[in-house]
Structure 1
Amino acid sequence: MKVLNSQYKEAREEERIGLAQLMCILRKKIRVLCRAEWHRRWQRRERARKRAAFIANLFKFTKELLGRSEGSQRGRPQSEGPSGTSYKVYKKRLRRLWKILRVFWRRGKIPEQWRVAEGVWIPKEENSTQIDQFRIISLLCVEAKVFFSAVSNRLCTYLSKNTYIDT
């Protein structure tokens, strides 16, 4: 563009018309390219932001995907934990679960959400009113249960195979 500008200044009057048209076309193309580059950078930043948000709060994605059920339904075989994620999600999406667990295994840090249990009072009888008619259960997040059961299984296998413990 600079070269074209200098040629325009040095050109005769009849050549300037063609150079002006050429500069106009180049400006439009440069504007389109700049806009495309800006959108590409914006999309890259947006993807990085979404990736960071997903890793920071893994449960938000599954809550949005499935919706959080309000209140407990009696007769449900397994309750959702604090994350609101059912076991059914991970039965269908094993590869996604494996990738999540690998991230935490490599980092060596357990998320704060995995360390917290949610206490839920479940009535023993139909119309329970007294405290002794309830039992409390601790709901843990599904991901933590799967992760720690895998670690436990590996540890037990290793200890028994190398005769550190007798079974």
Structure 2
Amino acid sequence: MDSMAKDEQNSEAQWRDLNDDLGVILETSLQGCVERRIETLTTLVYNIGKERFGVEERKERSNTKQTPNRREQKIKQLRKELKDLNRRYKKSNEIERLRIACITDSVREELRRTTRAEQLKNSNKKKAKNRANFIKNPYNYTKTLLGGERTGHLHCRSAPGYSGVPYKVYKKCPKILRKLWQLFRSLWKKGTIPESWQKAEGCFVTKEKDSKDISQFRTTAAIYC
């Protein structure tokens, strides 16, 4: 019990540190139009959170151990460099910290670009796989999205959106949530919708079990906001 309580305290301390650090970073980094600031906010939150906590991914079972590709190896190396730089930063004097901070920004930007490229590649592979499964058997594919036959309800899970940032981050980090709220207010006053929020992934859902004709399908979409 003592160990569990200690782990929980450490976890809460990590969330507080993330909240404070991101609050300072966002205060100085959010520049430009509202749409650009929203993109910057989600990118910074995702990358910095990933540096500290990693990413929990659901992996498919496989008997063979996959070898990381060159980009994945580079991402791993960049994360290691960031950890080393953070340790050096804490032990350095003020003059050395300025130099280390510049190097850290450069490495973090390289990590952001590399991670984005890897995510895009994986996303395209996943879309191609889903498309092939749907074409092969539309009913079996869409049936996995539904709670049961003819229920018309989709499973609701606390999955992150297009940005990759789960809701728990905003729940645990009120400073980030307030920044996001301020950006929402600006959008509301302008009466505009960011271009990224106007995109959606569509999927055909069968109305009946033995649907074959296009008229027996309806469309549903997940909006990226």
User: What is the TM-score of this pair, normalised by structure 1?
Assistant: 0.37
Which structure has more RCO (C-alpha within 8 Å, separation ≥ 6)? 2
User: What is the TM-score of this pair, normalised by structure 2?
Assistant: 0.30
